[in-house]
């Protein structure tokens, strides 16, 4: 069976990527570029390449050509601070850098506006199973990378294509960055099926994005909770997008209030809204909530993806088998990644996880075998001796109040609540006292213009913690 990144004669005449501005690239074009690149970069040893990622045809093509030639790509956010980027590059010393063409330096090869530049001639010792390196921390420049194997990316793409029922006729739009595991999985799963993705750097806040959705007859959109919060604010549910029939959500917990709204909207308009759960350490996805069960199981991450299984663990040896008992969520499947790399020497490492991942999430399952996240293992504090789940606190606030965004940080006996609306503080205080039983002096409410999030839409809790400490 062919991998999604292998040459597939049946797809040669299919369109692989469009960009919403009249440009397109076929699968045959990709295969031709891949062969040309093989001639240019031939080497007796496996090589490492850094790709400075944009949501463009050249960037995605660079990624697929690397996979096809068994060059290991390290995907880097183009928004990463230049000093942090250089630190990452100096630690891993990639042989090549793929980036938008630099007019001052002649590239070794050009792929749709992306140049291939020689960076180092180091002979890396790279494990034969290593396919891909992804950052764990968005734009912070941390040297800690997730090592993904060829089996990981292929099995996860196949599972996703199966439960989303992807076909060659589907046409998603790049609503998430490709360096982010969720955004990348959209590319992988659609390439597996011979489908075409529209790559654009326009965002959901840009008129151009919605013009593309209409004119190019986009069929699906992917988003993190922040994406769907934004879509609600800009009136997405009133837009005329008859071809857009699938909305997928992962990357964190969407408030139950919004889940219900999107599920009801999807049922009313004959679309599908599917909630999923995943981590970079599991390649991309571990679970999905079947659409026909969405309204019955609001708040659930659903069931394990095809080929995977969940366990709720009291500790590393004791599994919890009763419903509604919280423990750490453990996942098993072929998409569990090899482990981490902290330096170039770690690229030689093999499989350190052996198909089993302790997620760091606390969870439970119900009588029907549907799973629910209770919060992060490290996001629990004690206030006046009472255990407080900060993720649960955020969920309560977001579900109760739609006029503000919320985020919670803190340590024992010191809870800090950030909100983006400064006109309803007393209302929020009364709600917290009533729902949690905490005294007013047990928490501090801060007003902030915007909750800080990274390019993947995830809340930056360290920034908020530092701000809380500064403000006292």
Strand order across the beta sheet in which 114-118 lies: 109-111, 114-118, 96-100, 48-53, 72-77, 130-135, 145-149, 339-341
- Tens digit of pLDDT for each residue in 309-357? 999 999 888 999 999 999 999 999 999 999 999 999 999 999 999 999 9
Nearest-angstrom CA–CA distance, 416 and 47: 47
Angle at 158 between CA 154 and CA 163, to 5 degrees: 150
State what percent of residues in the chain have pLDDT above 70.
98
**Beta bridge pairs of residue 361:** 376
b/e burial code for range 135-168 (CB count within 10 A of at least 16 → b): beebbbbebebbbbbbbbbbbbbbbbbebbebee
- In the chain, CATH 3.40.50.12780 covers 9-365
Strand duo 287-288 + 272-277: pairing = antiparallel
Fold for 378-471, please state it: GMP Synthetase; Chain A, domain 3 (3.30.300)
Contact predicate 177/456, CB 8 Å: yes
- In the chain, CATH 3.30.300.30 covers 378-471
- Tens digit of pLDDT for each residue in 59-113? 999 999 999 999 999 999 998 888 889 999 999 999 999 999 988 899 999 999 9
- Tens digit of pLDDT for each residue in 420-434? 987 888 899 998 888
Whole-model pTM: value is 0.86
Number of alpha carbons in the 13 Å side-chain half-sphere of residue 175: 28
Count CB atoms within 10 A of the CB of residue 290.
15
Ranges of residues in the chain with a pLDDT under 70 are 137-141, 382, 384-387, 472
- Tens digit of pLDDT for each residue in 386-406? 667 788 888 889 888 888 899
Contact predicate 51/80, CB 8 Å: no
Count CB atoms within 10 A of the CB of residue 355.
15
| CATH code assigned to 9-365 | 3.40.50.12780
């Amino acid at each position: 069976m062919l991998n999604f990144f292998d040459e597939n004669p049946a797809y040669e005449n299919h369109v692989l990527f469009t960009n919403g501005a009249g440009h397109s690239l076929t699968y045959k074009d990709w295969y031709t570029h891949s062969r040309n690149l093989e001639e240019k970069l031939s080497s007796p040893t496996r090589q490492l390449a850094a790709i400075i990622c944009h949501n463009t045809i050249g960037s995605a093509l660079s990624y697929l050509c690397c996979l096809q030639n068994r060059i290991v790509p390290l995907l880097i956010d183009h928004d990463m601070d230049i000093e942090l980027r250089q630190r990452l590059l100096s630690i891993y010393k990639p042989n090549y850098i793929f980036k938008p063409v630099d007019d001052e330096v002649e590239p070794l090869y050009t792929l749709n506006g992306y140049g291939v530049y020689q960076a180092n001639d180091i002979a890396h010792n790279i494990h034969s199973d290593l396919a891909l390196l992804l950052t764990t921390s968005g734009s912070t420049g941390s040297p800690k990378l997730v090592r993904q194997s060829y089996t990981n990316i292929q099995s996860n793409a196949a599972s996703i294509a199966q439960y989303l029922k992807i076909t060659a006729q589907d046409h998603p739009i790049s609503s998430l960055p490709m360096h982010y595991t969720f955004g990348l999985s959209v590319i992988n799963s659609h390439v597996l099926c011979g489908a075409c993705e529209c790559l654009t750097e326009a965002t959901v806040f840009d008129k151009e994005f919605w013009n593309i959705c209409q004119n190019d007859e986009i069929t699906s959109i992917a988003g993190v909770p922040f994406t769907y919060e934004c879509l609600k604010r800009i009136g997405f549910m009133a837009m005329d997008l008859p071809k857009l029939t699938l909305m997928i959500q992962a990357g964190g917990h969407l408030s139950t209030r919004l889940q219900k709204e999107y599920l009801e909207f999807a049922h009313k308009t004959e679309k599908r809204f599917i909630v999923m759960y995943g981590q970079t350490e599991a390649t991309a996805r571990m679970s999905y909530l079947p659409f026909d069960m969405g309204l019955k199981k609001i708040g659930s991450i659903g069931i394990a993806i095809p080929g995977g299984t969940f366990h709720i663990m009291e500790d590393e040896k004791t599994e919890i088998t009763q419903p509604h008992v919280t423990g750490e969520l453990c996942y098993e499947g072929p998409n569990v990644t090899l482990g981490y790399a902290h330096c170039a020497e770690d690229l030689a490492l093999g499989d350190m996880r052996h198909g089993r991942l302790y997620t760091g999430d606390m969870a439970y399952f119900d009588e029907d075998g549907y799973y629910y996240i209770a919060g992060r293992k490290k996001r629990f504090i004690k206030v006046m001796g009472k255990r407080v789940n900060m993720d649960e606190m955020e969920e309560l606030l977001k579900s109760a109040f739609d006029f503000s965004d919320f985020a919670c940080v803190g340590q024992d006996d010191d809870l800090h609540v950030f909100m983006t609306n400064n006109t309803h503080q007393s209302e929020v205080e009364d709600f917290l006292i009533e729902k949690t039983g905490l005294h007013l002096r047990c928490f501090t409410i801060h007003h902030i213009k915007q909750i800080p999030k990274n390019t993947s839409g995830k809340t930056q809790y360290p920034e908020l913690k530092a701000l809380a400490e500064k403000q006292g």
